Amino acid sequence: MKISTKGRYGLRILLDLAIHQSEKKPRLIRDIAKSQQISEKYISRLVIALRKAGMIRSVRGVNGGFHIAMKPEDITLLDVIEVMEGPLSIVDCVKAPKRCAMHENCAPREIWCKLNDEIRDLMRQTTLADILESYKKQSARDGMVDYCI
């Protein structure tokens, strides 16, 4: 299992908007791109899914841009990853057992399901607020931020 750039960058976009949520004016894609070192073109594609999921809202016009639409404590890491990448599953048979002819007699499937549930639970317990708090502690400690999780 590997989380792609869509999932990682989606989280970084939300984190950027959460960091700047106290600002009254919407955050421009250009500003997000510069601070997150992601291309504007790629961000433009990623914000569509975040907006459709209700996590961000867009403001049109000359002074347009994006705001975070939900409280950071209401956005889980699992929500973000599944919005950006689809249902999380470490192996196909966890979510679609009938895809495999051996699904009824597969001893490893029980382990895969348990592991998948544990990963999902940890991601469900981790909120954007937790990540924002980690960002604040890290930036206060050393002035540098690493968005990897």
Q: Would you say residue 10 lies in a domain?
A: yes
Q: Would you say residue 148 lies in a domain?
A: no
**Predicted pLDDT at 139:** 81
Going 11 to 1 to 120 to 149, the CA torsion angle's sign is: negative
Successive 10-residue mean pLDDT values, the chain, 149 residues: 93 97 92 96 97 96 91 98 93 75 80 93 97 90 59
- As to burial, measured by CB atoms within 10 angstroms (0-12 exposed, 13-18 middle, 19+ buried), residue 106 is middle
Q: Would you say residue 52 lies in a domain?
A: yes
- The C-alpha R_g of the chain, in whole angstroms, comes to 18
What's the total number of domains in the chain? Answer: 1
Phi, psi dihedral angles at 127 (to 5 degrees): -105, 165
DSSP track, 47-86:
HHHHHHTTSEEEE-STT-EEEE-S-GGG-BHHHHHHHHH-
Q: Would you say residue 62 lies in a domain?
A: yes
Distance of CA 149 to the CA centre of its chain: 11
> Where residue 17 sits, what CATH number does that domain have?
1.10.10.10
* Containing structural domain, residue 113: 5-142
**Predicted pLDDT at 75:** 98
Amino acid at site 61: G
**Predicted pLDDT at 23:** 87
Q: Would you say residue 147 lies in a domain?
A: no
Q: Would you say residue 50 lies in a domain?
A: yes
**Predicted pLDDT at 109:** 83
User: If you ran DSSP here, which 8-state letter would residue 127 be given?
Assistant: B
Q: Would you say residue 149 lies in a domain?
A: no
Q: Would you say residue 74 lies in a domain?
A: yes
